[in-house]
Amino acid sequence: MIQRKLTKKVRVGQIYVGGDAPIAVQSMLNTDTRDVEASLRQIRALRTAGCDIVRLAVPDMAAADALAEITKGVDMPMVADIHFDYRLALRAIEHGVAKLRINPGNIGSRDRVEAVAKACQDKGIPIRIGVNSGSLEKDLLEKYGGPVPEALVESALRHVAILDEVNFNDVIISIKSSNVMRTVEAYRLLSKQTDLPLHIGVTEAGTTWRGTIKSAVGIGTLLAEGIGDTLRVSLTGDPLEEIKVGREILKSVGYLKEGIEFVSCPTCGRTEIDLIGIATEVEKRLEGLNKPIKVAVMGCAVNGPGEAKDADIGIAGGKGVGIIFKKGVIVRRVGEAELVDALMAEIESM
Protein backbone atom coordinates (compact mmCIF):
# COMPACT_ATOMS: atom_id res chain seq x y z
CA MET A 1 0.00 0.00 0.00
CA ILE A 2 1.42 3.39 -1.02
CA GLN A 3 1.82 5.88 1.82
CA ARG A 4 1.02 9.20 0.18
CA LYS A 5 2.64 12.27 1.72
CA LEU A 6 0.09 14.45 3.48
CA THR A 7 0.35 17.97 2.09
CA LYS A 8 -1.63 21.15 2.64
CA LYS A 9 -5.13 21.01 1.15
CA VAL A 10 -5.85 23.88 -1.26
CA ARG A 11 -9.22 24.64 -2.83
CA VAL A 12 -9.30 25.03 -6.60
CA GLY A 13 -12.82 26.01 -7.58
CA GLN A 14 -15.17 23.23 -6.52
CA ILE A 15 -12.43 20.65 -5.84
CA TYR A 16 -9.41 20.36 -3.57
CA VAL A 17 -5.77 19.62 -4.31
CA GLY A 18 -3.50 18.12 -1.66
CA GLY A 19 -4.19 16.61 1.72
CA ASP A 20 -6.49 13.61 1.47
CA ALA A 21 -8.15 14.86 -1.74
CA PRO A 22 -8.04 12.56 -4.78
CA ILE A 23 -5.18 13.22 -7.19
CA ALA A 24 -6.57 15.57 -9.84
CA VAL A 25 -5.83 15.11 -13.56
CA GLN A 26 -5.23 18.27 -15.56
CA SER A 27 -4.77 19.33 -19.16
CA MET A 28 -4.23 22.56 -21.08
CA LEU A 29 -6.26 23.79 -24.02
CA ASN A 30 -4.54 24.09 -27.39
CA THR A 31 -7.23 26.43 -28.69
CA ASP A 32 -6.86 30.20 -28.94
CA THR A 33 -8.40 31.41 -25.68
CA ARG A 34 -9.86 34.36 -27.59
CA ASP A 35 -11.97 31.86 -29.57
CA VAL A 36 -14.61 31.31 -26.91
CA GLU A 37 -16.69 28.68 -28.71
CA ALA A 38 -13.70 26.54 -29.69
CA SER A 39 -12.34 26.75 -26.15
CA LEU A 40 -15.67 25.77 -24.62
CA ARG A 41 -15.98 22.78 -26.97
CA GLN A 42 -12.58 21.50 -25.94
CA ILE A 43 -13.23 22.07 -22.24
CA ARG A 44 -16.47 20.09 -22.44
CA ALA A 45 -14.73 17.25 -24.27
CA LEU A 46 -11.98 17.18 -21.66
CA ARG A 47 -14.50 17.13 -18.82
CA THR A 48 -16.30 14.19 -20.43
CA ALA A 49 -12.96 12.35 -20.69
CA GLY A 50 -12.37 12.77 -16.95
CA CYS A 51 -10.39 16.00 -16.72
CA ASP A 52 -10.57 17.66 -13.28
CA ILE A 53 -8.83 20.99 -13.94
CA VAL A 54 -8.14 22.78 -17.22
CA ARG A 55 -5.56 25.49 -17.96
CA LEU A 56 -5.80 28.23 -20.58
CA ALA A 57 -3.08 30.46 -22.02
CA VAL A 58 -3.64 34.17 -21.38
CA PRO A 59 -1.11 36.02 -23.58
CA ASP A 60 -2.95 39.35 -23.80
CA MET A 61 -5.91 41.33 -22.50
CA ALA A 62 -8.25 40.02 -25.21
CA ALA A 63 -7.62 36.48 -23.98
CA ALA A 64 -8.10 37.61 -20.38
CA ASP A 65 -11.45 39.18 -21.25
CA ALA A 66 -12.57 36.03 -23.09
CA LEU A 67 -12.36 34.24 -19.74
CA ALA A 68 -15.51 36.06 -18.65
CA GLU A 69 -17.60 34.02 -21.09
CA ILE A 70 -15.59 30.83 -20.82
CA THR A 71 -15.82 30.56 -17.04
CA LYS A 72 -19.59 31.01 -17.22
CA GLY A 73 -19.95 28.41 -19.97
CA VAL A 74 -18.63 25.37 -18.11
CA ASP A 75 -18.74 24.49 -14.41
CA MET A 76 -15.14 23.32 -14.11
CA PRO A 77 -12.03 24.74 -12.37
CA MET A 78 -10.05 26.84 -14.85
CA VAL A 79 -6.48 28.04 -14.49
CA ALA A 80 -5.15 31.16 -16.17
CA ASP A 81 -1.58 30.69 -17.42
CA ILE A 82 0.13 34.07 -17.26
CA HIS A 83 3.68 35.29 -17.75
CA PHE A 84 5.18 38.66 -16.79
CA ASP A 85 2.11 40.97 -16.96
CA TYR A 86 0.41 41.25 -13.57
CA ARG A 87 -2.51 43.13 -15.15
CA LEU A 88 -3.52 39.97 -17.00
CA ALA A 89 -3.62 38.15 -13.67
CA LEU A 90 -5.87 40.79 -12.13
CA ARG A 91 -8.24 40.66 -15.10
CA ALA A 92 -8.34 36.84 -15.06
CA ILE A 93 -9.22 36.89 -11.36
CA GLU A 94 -11.96 39.40 -12.06
CA HIS A 95 -13.42 37.07 -14.69
CA GLY A 96 -13.75 34.04 -12.43
CA VAL A 97 -10.78 31.72 -12.86
CA ALA A 98 -10.19 29.18 -10.10
CA LYS A 99 -6.39 29.40 -10.04
CA LEU A 100 -3.45 31.33 -11.45
CA ARG A 101 -0.29 29.83 -12.88
CA ILE A 102 2.19 32.67 -12.44
CA ASN A 103 5.66 33.08 -11.02
CA PRO A 104 5.70 36.08 -8.68
CA GLY A 105 9.38 36.73 -9.37
CA ASN A 106 8.56 37.47 -13.01
CA ILE A 107 5.78 40.02 -12.65
CA GLY A 108 7.77 42.98 -11.38
CA SER A 109 7.88 45.01 -8.20
CA ARG A 110 6.62 44.08 -4.75
CA ASP A 111 3.51 46.24 -5.11
CA ARG A 112 2.48 44.25 -8.19
CA VAL A 113 2.98 40.98 -6.36
CA GLU A 114 0.93 42.33 -3.45
CA ALA A 115 -1.85 43.43 -5.79
CA VAL A 116 -2.14 39.96 -7.32
CA ALA A 117 -1.87 38.20 -3.96
CA LYS A 118 -4.56 40.41 -2.41
CA ALA A 119 -6.92 39.86 -5.36
CA CYS A 120 -6.39 36.10 -5.02
CA GLN A 121 -7.02 36.21 -1.27
CA ASP A 122 -10.23 38.17 -1.75
CA LYS A 123 -11.55 35.55 -4.18
CA GLY A 124 -10.07 32.45 -2.52
CA ILE A 125 -7.87 31.69 -5.53
CA PRO A 126 -4.57 29.78 -5.19
CA ILE A 127 -1.42 30.39 -7.19
CA ARG A 128 0.61 27.67 -8.89
CA ILE A 129 4.29 28.37 -9.07
CA GLY A 130 5.63 26.62 -12.16
CA VAL A 131 9.38 26.20 -12.63
CA ASN A 132 10.74 24.57 -15.80
CA SER A 133 14.37 23.62 -16.44
CA GLY A 134 14.34 25.61 -19.68
CA SER A 135 13.50 28.92 -17.99
CA LEU A 136 15.61 28.98 -14.83
CA GLU A 137 17.06 32.24 -13.57
CA LYS A 138 20.56 33.02 -14.86
CA ASP A 139 22.09 33.29 -11.41
CA LEU A 140 20.90 29.78 -10.53
CA LEU A 141 22.25 28.35 -13.78
CA GLU A 142 25.61 29.95 -12.97
CA LYS A 143 25.52 28.80 -9.35
CA TYR A 144 24.76 25.16 -10.14
CA GLY A 145 26.29 24.91 -13.61
CA GLY A 146 23.00 23.97 -15.25
CA PRO A 147 19.34 23.12 -14.64
CA VAL A 148 20.03 20.45 -12.02
CA PRO A 149 17.37 19.35 -9.50
CA GLU A 150 18.83 21.55 -6.75
CA ALA A 151 18.49 24.61 -9.00
CA LEU A 152 14.86 23.82 -9.78
CA VAL A 153 14.05 23.46 -6.10
CA GLU A 154 15.81 26.69 -5.13
CA SER A 155 13.98 28.57 -7.87
CA ALA A 156 10.59 27.29 -6.72
CA LEU A 157 11.23 28.07 -3.05
CA ARG A 158 12.48 31.52 -4.03
CA HIS A 159 9.08 32.25 -5.60
CA VAL A 160 7.31 30.80 -2.55
CA ALA A 161 9.32 33.15 -0.32
CA ILE A 162 8.14 36.15 -2.33
CA LEU A 163 4.52 35.19 -1.67
CA ASP A 164 5.31 34.48 1.98
CA GLU A 165 6.53 38.05 2.31
CA VAL A 166 3.08 39.33 1.34
CA ASN A 167 1.35 36.76 3.60
CA PHE A 168 0.02 34.57 0.79
CA ASN A 169 0.33 30.81 1.23
CA ASP A 170 -2.37 29.12 -0.88
CA VAL A 171 0.32 27.83 -3.20
CA ILE A 172 0.81 24.78 -5.40
CA ILE A 173 4.26 24.04 -6.87
CA SER A 174 5.51 22.33 -10.01
CA ILE A 175 9.16 21.84 -11.01
CA LYS A 176 9.45 20.10 -14.36
CA SER A 177 12.13 19.04 -16.78
CA SER A 178 12.04 17.17 -20.08
CA ASN A 179 14.59 14.82 -18.51
CA VAL A 180 12.67 12.15 -16.61
CA MET A 181 15.18 11.36 -13.87
CA ARG A 182 16.02 15.03 -13.31
CA THR A 183 12.30 15.65 -12.82
CA VAL A 184 11.95 12.75 -10.39
CA GLU A 185 14.95 13.80 -8.31
CA ALA A 186 13.80 17.42 -8.22
CA TYR A 187 10.39 16.45 -6.85
CA ARG A 188 12.00 14.13 -4.31
CA LEU A 189 14.13 17.01 -3.01
CA LEU A 190 11.23 19.47 -3.04
CA SER A 191 8.90 17.07 -1.24
CA LYS A 192 11.37 16.91 1.67
CA GLN A 193 11.47 20.70 1.98
CA THR A 194 7.81 21.72 1.76
CA ASP A 195 4.33 20.56 2.69
CA LEU A 196 2.72 22.55 -0.11
CA PRO A 197 0.79 20.45 -2.65
CA LEU A 198 2.76 19.40 -5.72
CA HIS A 199 1.66 19.42 -9.35
CA ILE A 200 3.74 16.71 -11.05
CA GLY A 201 4.61 15.97 -14.65
CA VAL A 202 7.39 15.71 -17.23
CA THR A 203 7.44 18.83 -19.40
CA GLU A 204 7.93 18.72 -23.16
CA ALA A 205 7.57 14.94 -22.97
CA GLY A 206 7.06 14.60 -26.73
CA THR A 207 4.52 13.08 -29.07
CA THR A 208 1.75 10.82 -27.84
CA TRP A 209 3.88 7.65 -28.11
CA ARG A 210 7.14 8.90 -26.62
CA GLY A 211 5.47 11.33 -24.25
CA THR A 212 3.26 8.61 -22.80
CA ILE A 213 6.26 6.45 -22.01
CA LYS A 214 8.29 9.26 -20.44
CA SER A 215 5.29 10.49 -18.44
CA ALA A 216 4.39 7.02 -17.23
CA VAL A 217 7.94 6.46 -15.98
CA GLY A 218 8.32 9.89 -14.34
CA ILE A 219 4.84 10.42 -12.95
CA GLY A 220 4.42 6.76 -12.05
CA THR A 221 7.68 6.72 -10.09
CA LEU A 222 6.69 9.78 -8.08
CA LEU A 223 3.19 8.49 -7.36
CA ALA A 224 4.60 5.14 -6.26
CA GLU A 225 6.73 7.05 -3.74
CA GLY A 226 3.70 8.94 -2.42
CA ILE A 227 4.64 12.23 -4.11
CA GLY A 228 2.10 14.25 -6.08
CA ASP A 229 -1.31 15.83 -5.56
CA THR A 230 -2.27 16.71 -9.13
CA LEU A 231 -0.74 15.83 -12.49
CA ARG A 232 -0.57 16.76 -16.12
CA VAL A 233 0.72 14.53 -18.90
CA SER A 234 2.29 16.97 -21.39
CA LEU A 235 1.90 15.57 -24.91
CA THR A 236 2.38 17.02 -28.38
CA GLY A 237 -1.08 15.97 -29.49
CA ASP A 238 -4.76 16.07 -28.66
CA PRO A 239 -5.29 17.19 -25.02
CA LEU A 240 -7.84 14.37 -24.68
CA GLU A 241 -4.94 11.93 -24.90
CA GLU A 242 -3.36 13.63 -21.89
CA ILE A 243 -6.41 12.79 -19.81
CA LYS A 244 -6.56 9.18 -21.01
CA VAL A 245 -2.89 8.64 -20.20
CA GLY A 246 -3.07 10.47 -16.87
CA ARG A 247 -6.02 8.45 -15.67
CA GLU A 248 -4.41 5.21 -16.81
CA ILE A 249 -1.25 6.06 -14.86
CA LEU A 250 -3.38 6.63 -11.76
CA LYS A 251 -5.11 3.29 -12.32
CA SER A 252 -1.81 1.48 -12.80
CA VAL A 253 -0.43 2.80 -9.51
CA GLY A 254 -3.69 2.08 -7.69
CA TYR A 255 -4.90 5.62 -6.98
CA LEU A 256 -7.90 5.45 -9.30
CA LYS A 257 -10.36 2.60 -8.88
CA GLU A 258 -13.18 3.71 -11.16
CA GLY A 259 -13.54 2.58 -14.74
CA ILE A 260 -12.56 -0.63 -16.46
CA GLU A 261 -9.13 -2.20 -16.02
CA PHE A 262 -8.12 -3.87 -19.27
CA VAL A 263 -5.41 -6.53 -19.64
CA SER A 264 -4.35 -8.65 -22.60
CA CYS A 265 -1.57 -11.16 -23.09
CA PRO A 266 1.26 -10.82 -25.63
CA THR A 267 1.11 -12.91 -28.77
CA CYS A 268 3.14 -16.09 -29.02
CA GLY A 269 3.42 -19.22 -31.15
CA ARG A 270 0.43 -20.81 -29.39
CA THR A 271 -1.93 -18.05 -30.53
CA GLU A 272 -4.47 -19.34 -33.05
CA ILE A 273 -6.83 -16.35 -33.22
CA ASP A 274 -6.49 -12.75 -34.33
CA LEU A 275 -5.48 -11.70 -30.81
CA ILE A 276 -4.16 -8.27 -31.80
CA GLY A 277 -7.31 -7.39 -33.72
CA ILE A 278 -9.63 -8.72 -31.01
CA ALA A 279 -7.79 -6.98 -28.17
CA THR A 280 -7.74 -3.69 -30.10
CA GLU A 281 -11.47 -3.91 -30.83
CA VAL A 282 -12.35 -4.77 -27.22
CA GLU A 283 -10.24 -1.90 -25.89
CA LYS A 284 -11.93 0.50 -28.29
CA ARG A 285 -15.42 -0.66 -27.37
CA LEU A 286 -14.68 -0.43 -23.66
CA GLU A 287 -13.97 3.31 -23.94
CA GLY A 288 -16.62 5.32 -22.16
CA LEU A 289 -17.85 2.41 -20.01
CA ASN A 290 -17.50 3.20 -16.33
CA LYS A 291 -17.76 -0.18 -14.63
CA PRO A 292 -15.34 -1.07 -11.80
CA ILE A 293 -14.34 -4.40 -13.36
CA LYS A 294 -11.23 -6.07 -14.80
CA VAL A 295 -11.50 -7.38 -18.37
CA ALA A 296 -8.98 -9.79 -19.89
CA VAL A 297 -8.31 -10.78 -23.50
CA MET A 298 -6.13 -13.87 -23.69
CA GLY A 299 -4.76 -15.69 -26.71
CA CYS A 300 -4.67 -19.25 -25.46
CA ALA A 301 -7.79 -21.17 -24.53
CA VAL A 302 -5.74 -23.63 -22.49
CA ASN A 303 -3.88 -21.25 -20.18
CA GLY A 304 -5.91 -18.04 -20.56
CA PRO A 305 -8.53 -18.56 -17.83
CA GLY A 306 -5.86 -19.61 -15.35
CA GLU A 307 -3.47 -16.78 -16.10
CA ALA A 308 -6.28 -14.21 -15.84
CA LYS A 309 -8.36 -15.87 -13.13
CA ASP A 310 -8.45 -12.62 -11.14
CA ALA A 311 -10.27 -10.88 -14.01
CA ASP A 312 -14.00 -10.34 -13.49
CA ILE A 313 -14.58 -11.40 -17.07
CA GLY A 314 -12.43 -12.36 -20.02
CA ILE A 315 -12.13 -14.19 -23.29
CA ALA A 316 -9.57 -16.64 -24.62
CA GLY A 317 -9.29 -18.07 -28.09
CA GLY A 318 -8.49 -21.36 -29.73
CA LYS A 319 -8.65 -22.38 -33.37
CA GLY A 320 -11.74 -20.59 -34.68
CA VAL A 321 -13.46 -20.75 -31.33
CA GLY A 322 -13.29 -18.85 -28.05
CA ILE A 323 -14.43 -19.06 -24.48
CA ILE A 324 -15.85 -16.49 -22.08
CA PHE A 325 -14.79 -16.91 -18.47
CA LYS A 326 -15.56 -15.19 -15.20
CA LYS A 327 -13.05 -15.37 -12.35
CA GLY A 328 -11.32 -18.21 -14.17
CA VAL A 329 -14.50 -20.27 -14.65
CA ILE A 330 -15.66 -20.93 -18.22
CA VAL A 331 -19.24 -19.80 -18.77
CA ARG A 332 -19.67 -19.90 -22.57
CA ARG A 333 -18.10 -21.12 -25.81
CA VAL A 334 -18.63 -19.09 -28.98
CA GLY A 335 -17.18 -18.82 -32.47
CA GLU A 336 -14.25 -16.49 -32.97
CA ALA A 337 -16.30 -14.14 -35.15
CA GLU A 338 -18.85 -13.64 -32.35
CA LEU A 339 -16.36 -13.47 -29.52
CA VAL A 340 -16.16 -9.68 -29.13
CA ASP A 341 -19.92 -9.14 -29.39
CA ALA A 342 -20.56 -11.91 -26.88
CA LEU A 343 -18.04 -10.44 -24.45
CA MET A 344 -19.53 -6.96 -24.70
CA ALA A 345 -23.04 -8.34 -24.12
CA GLU A 346 -21.84 -10.06 -20.96
CA ILE A 347 -20.10 -6.90 -19.74
CA GLU A 348 -23.14 -4.72 -20.34
CA SER A 349 -25.27 -7.12 -18.31
CA MET A 350 -22.91 -7.04 -15.33
Domain edges within the chain: 10-253, 261-348
What's the pLDDT score for residue 301?
Answer: 63
Helix (H) or strand (E) holding 150, with range, is helix 149-165
Strand partners, 231: 25, 200
Contact status, residue 116 vs residue 89, Cβ threshold 8 Å: yes
User: Which strands make up the sheet holding 261-264, listed edge to edge?
Assistant: 261-264, 294-298, 313-317, 321-326, 329-335
Residues 6 or more apart whose Cβ sits within 8 Å of residue 271: 299, 300, 317
Q: How far apart are CA 139 and CA 43, in angstroms?
A: 39
CATH of 10-253, one of 3.20.20.20, 3.40.980.10, 3.10.450.50, 3.40.50.1820: 3.20.20.20
Tens of pLDDT along 27-74? 999 999 999 999 999 999 999 999 999 999 999 999 999 999 999 988
Low-confidence residues in the chain, pLDDT < 50: none
What's the pLDDT score for residue 249?
Answer: 96
CA gyration radius for the chain? 23
What's the pLDDT score for residue 302?
Answer: 62
Q: How far is CA 153 from the centre of its chain?
A: 21
Pairing of strands 294-298, 15-17: unpaired
pTM value surpassing 0.75: yes
Tens of pLDDT along 67-124? 999 999 888 999 999 988 999 999 999 999 999 998 776 777 788 888 899 999 999 9
Residues 6 or more apart whose Cβ sits within 8 Å of residue 59: 33
Phi, psi angle pair for 231, to nearest 5°: -145, 155
What's the pLDDT score for residue 277?
Answer: 87
Query: In this structure, which topology does domain 261-348 adopt according to CATH?
Result: Sulfite Reductase Hemoprotein; domain 1 (3.30.413)
